[in-house]
Amino acid sequence: MNLFSALWLCFALLVAIGKYQHELDLPTCLTGVSLSKRQPDSVPASEDLTDLVQSGQDELYYGPVLVGAKTSKTFTCDFDTGSSDLDIPGPDCTPANGCPEAQNLKYDNSGTSAGNSTSVTYGPGMVTGDNYIDTVCVAGLCAPNTGFVSLNMSSGIDQNPPTCLMGMGFPEIAQSGLPPFFNNLINQGHLDDNSKEFSFCLGRAASNTQGKSKLTLGGRDTNSFKGEVTEVPVTKRGYWKVQVDGMRVNNGTILLPTIAEALSKADGAIDTGTTIILAPYAAAQGIAAAIPGAIPIALPLGLTGGVGNAMILANAVTAYPCNTDATVSMVFNGKPFEINPLDLSFGQLTGSIGQCFTSNGIFSSTILKLLSSLFDGKKGFPYCVASIAGASITGVQPFYVVGDTFLKNWYSIFNQDNPAAPYVGFAEANCQ
């Protein structure tokens, strides 16, 4: 694991923690404008996504979004089911404020001002901007009168690439109070009663499928998955939050203390915008205990680490033998869904991981540095860092964030055909 990969792992962990620290306190969304119904568009419609790969790791997935009725521009957006706002660099947002320098990568505010502004915190980063209304198109499907944030500032968020963020969560968590793009497609009648869903197939650089990632709107691409779809009910609208029954190693039950067993079964957000899996601390400890030779790297208690008001009570990553034959699965609806070993590893453990934690000002641990040095793969100790991290946070019930580490294995379908009973569907991915 080089320094860049280590820094990205740390960044992904902080973003996941900060992103969901407010999940019990959701904002109220405005109902939006009144629009007449129209005939549904031809769906499903698919858009190829670019897999951003750094040091061999799949970090995020983005694709083109067309914005503007008067002067349209194409932006590259991270499609994020873990948020609900569309954030686009505005004309006055400079590189000093975290935005691209080129004006063709910025919205020109040619739409209608909503007359208010939005400020959103994403883990260690924050964005602020003015709310605008304009036409937004993805994969040929256009929704006029879609609201978004024209950014004045983007702090702590890498936007090159992509240059914008499209939230695909429910309206209930839209910080701007504006309905998300996909819900506008539904409300404006672009999708019929049996096509109110979108789906993802996420490729993997290690399998040479990074060029086959795809977002499908208004349905599912039946060529991109195999077998039956398991429908997991959403427990509460907001995030795409479902019940996670637990995690298993080698398809066995993790033997944990009683309190850990209780913590391993919890709600989880299915989040395309998060690279890793964030698990309750006790569940992550149980995984480490069940993989032969694995070492949980527990970090000091009582840390804040730049994630707003959240206090991290316990936090850990796991080092494990890179050549392990252990398999890790997540359990939904009582059924195990295996994670490919290629996705379980975030890379070999080196001293960079210790540099990462200390350089961010989060931790100062001589023990962590020692472990990083001791299990440096270059010295003949081939240990890997798991892309499953554990955390326990004040004010938040035990919670999973199910990111791309899992979703690269399973085609994911986000269905709202029945607004009162939305679900996430999983089927074996076959990106092509």
The enclosing domain of 172 has a CATH number of: 2.40.70.10
Segment holding 282, helix H or strand E: helix 281-290
Amino acid 199: pLDDT: 98
DSSP state, 218? S
Indicate whether 170 and 229 sit together in one domain. no
- The beta strands (E) that lie in 112-167 are given as 112-122, 125-138, 141-155, 164-167
Indicate whether 316 and 422 sit together in one domain. yes
Could you give the CA distance from residue 76 to residue 61 in angstroms, rounded to a whole number? 10
Indicate whether 83 and 116 sit together in one domain. yes
Pairing between β-strand 141-155 and β-strand 86-89 as defined by DSSP bridges = parallel
Where the chain has pLDDT below 50, the residues are 3, 24-38, 255-259, 300-311, 357-368, 377-378
246 assigned to some structural domain: yes
1 assigned to some structural domain: no
CA angle 178, 111, 170 (to 5 degrees): 20
Amino acid 302: pLDDT: 41
Indicate whether 175 and 244 sit together in one domain. no
421 assigned to some structural domain: yes
Q: Which of 160, 182, 210 is the last residue of a domain?
A: 210
Who's near 209: CB < 8 A, 6+ residues apart? 203, 431, 432
Amino acid 39: pLDDT: 52
Indicate whether 240 and 386 sit together in one domain. yes
Indicate whether 161 and 264 sit together in one domain. no
* Contact (CB, 8 A) for 29 and 172: yes
- What the block records as the tokens of 272 is 């395309």
Query: At 378, is the secondary structure helix, strand, or coil?
Result: helix
Could you give the CA distance from residue 161 to residue 195 in angstroms, rounded to a whole number? 30
Could you give the CA distance from residue 13 to residue 331 in angstroms, rounded to a whole number? 22
173 assigned to some structural domain: yes
Task: State the residue range of the domain holding 48.
Answer: 33-193+200-210
Q: Which of 161, 182, 210 is the last residue of a domain?
A: 210
Segment holding 20, helix H or strand E: helix 3-20
- What the block records as the tokens of 79 is 């499609």
Indicate whether 128 and 63 sit together in one domain. yes
Number of domains in the chain: 2
303 assigned to some structural domain: yes
17 assigned to some structural domain: no
306 assigned to some structural domain: yes
Return the active site residues: 80, 271
241 assigned to some structural domain: yes
Residue 278's alpha-carbon distances to 1, 257, 301, 353, in angstroms, are: 19, 20, 17, 17
Burial grade of 174 (CB within 10 A; 0-12, 13-18, 19 or more): buried
Indicate whether 261 and 401 sit together in one domain. yes
What is the identity of the amino acid at 117? S
- What the block records as the tokens of 244 is 């996670």
Phi-psi category of 191—alpha, beta or left, where left has phi over 0 and alpha has psi -120 to 50? beta
* Contact (CB, 8 A) for 377 and 163: no
Indicate whether 249 and 120 sit together in one domain. no
Could you give the CA distance from residue 219 to residue 317 in angstroms, rounded to a whole number? 37
Query: At 245, is the secondary structure helix, strand, or coil?
Result: coil
Q: Which of 182, 210, 238 is the last residue of a domain?
A: 210
CA angle 283, 285, 288 (to 5 degrees): 115
* Contact (CB, 8 A) for 14 and 305: yes
* Contact (CB, 8 A) for 63 and 75: no
Amino acid 289: pLDDT: 86
Buried b (16+ CB within 10 A) or exposed e, 67-77: bbbeeebebbb
Helix axes 3-20, 351-359, angle to 10 degrees: 50
- What the block records as the tokens of 149 is 């944030």
Indicate whether 145 and 181 sit together in one domain. yes
Could you give the CA distance from residue 83 to residue 160 in angstroms, rounded to a whole number? 19
Indicate whether 175 and 270 sit together in one domain. no
Indicate whether 123 and 230 sit together in one domain. no
CA angle 302, 306, 310 (to 5 degrees): 55
